[in-house]
């Protein structure tokens, strides 16, 4: 046990040393905003917070889920299969692996890795291609779970390229959207309660096609076009033959190609200027196969009701030339109005505050 504690101390020290060396001065934001490292978390991905201020953190390439409590990072669960998705409700933590979702009792402070209380009744495909999941509870009390396309481009038929909602206390599993290639981030509008989600565009159509997307679900069963139509009017060169983009729900916002939008949140805090209220902040994880990399930034989408007034860079600087030292993943709004941003490449969570002009 002593050796394990010593090993943990070494990891803790090395992670904090890494965070101290991050070039935060390269991050550029609007005047009055400030960024700092809030916590060090290996491979930090999806975020979920509790009423008492704890923040749970999923990971994609690792096998662990973490919690940040009282300024310290601890392991909640380990030995998991790409536990990217985390969601919290009523003292329970729900962790999404590739093919299943498990429930943990986190009502008390966590002092050692936990065992799950149970695995939910609903099952999901075991494909690893786009198999990692983002999960979030909706205003209806249901847990929303996406299943990405098990390919870059194909006709996935049933079970894939969809968003479901499930009853965590039962076995219901309802499809709410289809034609969704791969969403790894969504939120519910503070006023309308509608589901909005990011979607990653397909690869190998060139550097600048097709666009990535921000979408809005207005009714259960909407089809967002994959694999036939991308963006508002880009028919797929293979699967779009004989199809019309007008037959599918168009995105609210077309983002640049290959920027890989992941986490998004409606800003509902009171710290940032008024123009951010009930509008979207989203994380562009960044391109992996574009000849000139792009993304690796936070983007602000100013909304007027359900329409986008403008889309602009909120924070960038993780990409320096053709090399990125960080990749933002998810966003969480804290009770004080600041936001957290996870970064799975740098292995940290940032806090962004506003101090006025």
pLDDT, mean of residues 289-301? 98
Q: Residue 168 sits in a domain of what CATH number? A: 2.120.10.30
Average pLDDT over residues 169-191: 98
pLDDT at 294 over 90: yes
Lowest mean pLDDT segment, chosen from 2-6, 126-130, 156-160, 219-223:
2-6
* Residue 196 phi, psi dihedral angles, 5° rounding: -115, 145
Range of the domain at 86: 28-354
Distance between CA atoms of residues 201 and 290, nearest Å: 13
Distances (CA, A) of 151 to 154, 232, 259: 6, 21, 18
Position 356 scores a pLDDT of 82
Number of domains in the chain: 1
pLDDT band for position 16 (50/70/90)?
Answer: low
User: Does residue 224 lie in a domain region?
Assistant: yes
pTM of the model: 0.94
Is 10 contained in some domain? no
Instruction: Answer yes or no: is 187 within a domain.
Output: yes
**DSSP states along 222-262:** EE--TTTEETTTEE-TTTTTT--GGGSPPPSEEEPTT--EE
Q: Is residue 8 part of a domain?
A: no
In a domain, 13, yes or no: no
Task: Determine the Cα–Cα distance for residues 316 and 40; give it in Å rounded to an integer.
Answer: 20
Phi and psi at 261, nearest 5°, equal -70, 130
Please report, for residues 43, 264, 344, the alpha-carbon distance to residue 328 in angstroms, rounded to integers and kept in the order given.
11, 11, 7
């Amino acid at each position: 046990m002593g050796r394990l504690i010593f090993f943990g101390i070494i990891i803790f020290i090395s992670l904090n040393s890494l965070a101290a060396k991050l070039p935060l001065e390269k991050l550029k934001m609007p005047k009055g905003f400030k960024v700092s490292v809030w916590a060090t978390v290996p491979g930090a991905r999806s975020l979920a917070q509790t009423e008492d201020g704890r923040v749970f953190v999923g990971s994609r390439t690792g096998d662990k889920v973490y919690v940040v409590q009282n300024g310290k990072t601890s392991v909640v669960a380990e030995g998991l299969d790409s536990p990217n998705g985390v969601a919290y409700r009523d003292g329970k933590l729900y962790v999404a692996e590739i093919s299943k979702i498990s429930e943990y009792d986190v009502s008390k402070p966590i002092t050692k890795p936990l065992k799950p209380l149970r695995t939910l009744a609903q099952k999901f495909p075991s494909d690893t291609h786009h198999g990692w999941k983002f999960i979030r509870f909706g205003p209806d009390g249901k847990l929303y779970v996406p299943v990405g396309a098990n390919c870059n481009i194909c006709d996935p038929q049933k079970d894939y390229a969809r968003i479901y909602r499930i009853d965590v206390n039962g076995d219901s599993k309802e499809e709410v959207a289809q034609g969704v290639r791969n969403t790894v981030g969504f939120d519910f509008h503070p006023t309308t309660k509608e589901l909005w989600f990011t979607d990653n565009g397909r690869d190998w159509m060139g550097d600048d096609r097709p666009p990535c997307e921000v979408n809005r679900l207005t009714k259960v069963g909407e089809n967002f076009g994959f694999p036939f139509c991308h963006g508002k009017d880009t028919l797929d060169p293979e699967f779009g033959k004989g199809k019309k983009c007008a037959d599918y729900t168009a995105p609210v916002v077309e983002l640049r190609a290959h920027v890989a939008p992941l986490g998004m949140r409606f800003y509902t805090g009171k710290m940032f200027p008024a123009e951010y209220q009930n509008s979207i902040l989203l994380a562009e994880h960044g391109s992996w196969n574009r000849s000139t990399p792009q993304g690796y930034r936070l983007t602000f989408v100013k909304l007027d009701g359900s329409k986008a007034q403008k889309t602009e860079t909120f924070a960038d600087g993780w990409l320096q030339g053709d090399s990125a030292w960080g990749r933002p993943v998810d966003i969480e709004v804290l009770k004080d109005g600041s936001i957290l941003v996870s970064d799975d490449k740098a292995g940290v969570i940032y806090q962004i505050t506003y101090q006025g002009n």
